[in-house]
Structures are given as C-alpha cells and as structure tokens.
Amino acid sequence: MAKKILIVDDASLIRNITKRAVEEAGYEAVLANNGKEGLEALKANSIDFIFSDINMPIMSGMEMIAEIRKEESWRFIPIVMLTTETKPELQQEAKTLGVKAWLVKPFNKDKFLLVLNKLLG
C-alpha cells in the first residue's frame, strides 16, 4: 500500500505540482488548503509524511505543527516546510517544533523528491 503524503498549502498551483510529483514517485497525496484542514486530514487518514506551507488563512503551518506535535500518535511524522519564507528565526521555530527540512519555493522537483525519499526511509 502506498504511503500517504499530506500536502498543506493555500495555493492550488503548489498543491497540484506537489501532488503530481508525489504521485509520480509512487505515493498517495492527500491535500489540504490550510492548517485546520490539514489537522482534519490527519484525523481521517493514516498519514506518513507532511509538506506544509507557513502562511495560510484560518490556521498557519506553524500553528498546525504545534497541534500535531501535541498528539502522541502524530509526534514522529516527518514534516517538511515548503514555503517562500527564508527568515532564520522562522526556520529555528520550525526546527524546535520538530520540522525535518525546509524547502524554499519555487522548489526543485529532484530535491523535493530526494528529501521525501530520504525522510521516509
């Protein structure tokens, strides 16, 4: 059974590009528009990996990750930020929350898949 990758981003173009890359690599993509939808998707699916933007309406990526890390069964899901943000303080906050990597948009598909495959084992 294919591993499920949750993609949380308010930009439909990014969701579609990442969905295609994830599916071409043999994984199943689950999409969410914001952090709140991301949490709902986690509750409804057995998620193996998360890509998340930071700046989104309703609930930001950081807020979502803070909630994810409170839940014992989700605590060790690998999370990678996929964002336009480059501020070191945001990267440090994400690292403190257990984020495994930081990719800046626009991203390189090969690097994106390398990070995904490496973190999934």
Q: Tens of pLDDT along 60-98?
A: 999 999 999 999 999 999 999 999 999 999 999 999 999
Question: What residue spans define the domains of the chain?
Answer: 4-119
Look up the CATH number of domain 4-119.
Answer: 3.40.50.2300
Tens digit of each residue's pLDDT (9 = 90 or more) over 37-56:
999 999 999 999 999 999 99
- Please give the structure tokens belonging to residue 70: 């409170």
Task: Tell me the C-alpha distance between 81 and 115, whole Å.
Answer: 11
How distant is the alpha carbon of residue 102 from its chain centre? 10
Beta-carbon contacts of residue 38 (< 8 Å; ≥ 6 apart): 6, 8, 32, 50, 52, 59, 64
Residues 99-115, mean pLDDT to the nearest whole number: 94
Query: If pLDDT is split at 50, 70 and 90, which confidence band does 1 have?
Result: confident
Tens digit of each residue's pLDDT (9 = 90 or more) over 7-42:
999 999 999 999 999 999 999 999 999 999 999 999
pLDDT at position 121: 78
| pTM recorded for the entire structure | 0.96
